[in-house]
Amino acid sequence: MPTVSAKKKCCKDKPRCKQCPVVLMRLAKMGYAEQLTTGKKAKYDLDKKVPKKAMLVARQR
């Protein structure tokens, strides 16, 4: 499982970037990531293969 660090603040892109804290939080709720630390720059363990459909849903604004 790759470890990903969330950015401090959302950059307001459309669609959201893959390191956005909102995207990583949504993936964790769907079961494709696990939060390791809390705070502004939280770290997440991502599954090796996140389905494309799940990533699209997590990144939408």
2-54 tens-digit pLDDT: 899 999 988 888 999 999 999 999 999 999 999 999 988 999 999 999 999 99
Instruction: Tell me if the pTM is above 0.75.
Output: yes
What is the residue type of 34?
A: E
Alpha-carbon span 19 to 7, nearest angstrom: 6
Q: What is the DSSP letter of 6?
A: P
**pLDDT given at position 24:** 95
Alpha-carbon span 2 to 44, nearest angstrom: 8
**pLDDT given at position 5:** 94
**pLDDT given at position 3:** 93
**pLDDT given at position 42:** 94
Rg, Å, the chain Cα set: 11
Domain residue spans of the chain:
3-59
Alpha-carbon span 42 to 53, nearest angstrom: 24
**pLDDT given at position 39:** 87
